[in-house]
Structures are given as structure tokens and as C-alpha cells.
Amino acid sequence: MVHLPEPLASFERVPLLFDHPSPLHLLPRLSKHVEKSSPAPVQVWIKREDCSSGIGLGGNKVRKLEYVFPSALIDGCDTIVTTGGVQSNHMRQVVAVANRLGLKTVLVPQNRPKSKPEAYDVSGNVQVNKILGAEYTAPGITLEDAAASLRSNGQKPYIISSGASSHLYGGLGFARWAFEVVEQEQNLGVFFDFVVVPVASGGTLGGMLAGFKLADRLQSSSSNDPAKKTRERKVIGIDTYNKPIGVLEASILEIAQRTARLIGLADGVVKPEDVVLDTRYNAGTHSGWSESTAEAVRLLGRTEGIVADPIYSGRALGAILDKAKLGEFAGGENVLFGNNMVNLIAYGDSGQSSELFARPIFMLWNSFYNTRLLI
């Protein structure tokens, strides 16, 4: 497993990931396609959080939950209460992890988008949650009210907010991820000038920012290579939520600074200018997508045989393709795409201009999720 410095190595963690880092490898055919329209050389790599764990079909939330669930266990709780959209990946992964640890789960779904087809309410993650035995409340009630109801019945609930990002330790999983990446860079003889990931609640990006600050500082201080002491990477978040300007950026900064303090960095090491959130690709709504996103999903599937979702990873990949075309990766050759979501889709024809989602696709899961690629 990845080598971690103190104090990061000593935080309580429930092991849920495979016993090796999530796969990281070049996308050679996609990169060749990108270079045709890019004014500068670009090599696109991928890190596979869809292949990081076999629990609940995997996904980036499992990595977060490794550090969140110990708090529930220490408190002696027997029921997890959490929320998310109807097709929330977070809710699915929470239910699966809770089952693994012998806890029940009550889900508080947010109100569904009115434009979605009937399949949206019964397929995909909803179907998986029912298989896993989750209980549902009525949509839109507060987590506190749901927890109070459980307490009145003698249960001991523990609340996990949507995305698990606001939890004190919600950023630690992706601080750890950053150290994985640095070790994989060393093994592969590559440096990622840009890291691009989708962002919703902010914990993934916030944790990465803190983790890379520490990992890169430690590597720089121990290296005799002047190039390694001056080379910097840029971590870019791709907005998927369309919140008012400044709201998500503030959340990400708070998470990054909180996580930085936890892992031993001084106040002020993570600065506001470190939070780079590109809002050009959110399609104006969390539950919809643009044609450029759909084209990116198609391209990844048809060049590399990897399926991405249209809400999170598809948007980040679409952003990478567009940024390369616009020359925004100039000065850096290697771009790491953080594929955070499992290949599970439940979207029918929503009237958007894409043949890709012309009919419901209930479950598309890459069967080689446990294949050990380049690590």
C-alpha cells in the first residue's frame, strides 16, 4: 500500500479499498485523438476510482468513507442517515459500506428533477439501494428530523451529509489519493502537470489540494534534482453543480485548509488561489448534460473501452478535451483525469441532443474493475 507520513498515517481508517492503489494508466488512443486538435502536445492519463473497491460498485466516495465511518463506530451508532439526489452515487456507496460494517441505512432523497423519465426513479442506483436493503424516507425532509424519528424508536443514528465532505475527516481520503499519485508517478517516470477532477460537494478536490501540498513539499525537500524543486502541478476542479459563484469555491477552500491542518501543514499553506474551479461545463444544471459531455463519453468508450457517466466524470473529460483544444494545457504535457464515478447509469431520453442516452441503461459496470493495471 501507499507510504504515508505522520500524522496522516495514524488516522483511524476502515479498510474498504483493494490492497493496491487504484489503477493509473495512459489513454493512448484518446491522447492521439486529442493531439489532433491541440496546439500543444497532450498526454491524457486516467486514475480509476471506479476500480478502487469492490464494495457497492465502487466510486470515489468509498475512499472518503474509510475515514468517516470510524466516527460512527466509535459513537456506537447502529443506523446511518444520509442524503443525496435520487440517483446519488454517494447514497449507494454509504449503504454498501454500512452493510459491510453491520449498520442499517436510512436514505433521505432530495426532490427529483421533474424533467426526468420514470426509469430515473426505479433504475440505476435506486435499484441497487433496494437490493442492498436501504430504507427510504419521504423526499426533502431534513436529516435532523429523520435522525430524531429514529431516536424516538430507540435507534442510534449517525448523520453523514451529502458527499461526506463536511465531515471533519471528509478530505483525508483524497489527501491519501494524492500520495498514491505521487508514488505512481515515481514508478512510471512521469509528472502530472495538470490533475482534472469533477466537483460536487468539494471534498474530493479539497482533499487532493491538501494532499498534494504535503506530498509535493516532502518530495521537493528530499530531492537533489533542481527541476523537481521548481516544477508545480495544477489541480483543476470541474463544477457539476452550478451553485452561485463563490459558494462552492469557499467550501472547497475550507475543506482543503481543514485537511491541511489535520495532516500537519501550517495555516495559510493552502491559499484561496489554489482553488481552481472551472464552471464552464456544468450545463446550468446538476442533473443534465451538454452535447460536449456526451461526445466525451462516447469518445472514451470508443477509443479506450471505458464507460464514464454523464454527470460527473463525463463533464470532467469533456472539459479536458475542450481545454486541450483551447491550448489551456500549454506548458505541461501530462494531464491526469480523475475518473471518480462507477459506470452505472440510469438516464433515458431526456430530450437532450445525444444519441448516447436514447434509451435507459441500467447498469454498465466494467467487469475488469479488479484488474491490476499499471500502478
CA distance readout (Å), 133 to 93, 94, 95, 111: 13, 12, 8, 21
237 φ/ψ angles, rounded to the nearest 5 degrees: -95, 140
Q: Which residues are catalytic?
A: 88
Nearest to 162 by CA among 142, 148, 177, 178: 142
Euclidean distance between CA atoms 102 and 321, whole angstroms: 43
**CA-derived radius of gyration, the chain:** 20
DSSP 293-310: HHHHHHHHHHHHS----T
Identify the residue whose cell numbers are 426532490: 111
Own/partner pairs, 159-162, CB within 8 angstroms, 24+ separation: 159/81, 159/82, 160/65, 160/68, 160/72, 160/80, 160/81, 160/82, 160/94, 161/82, 161/83, 161/201, 162/82, 162/83, 162/84, 162/88, 162/90, 162/110, 162/201
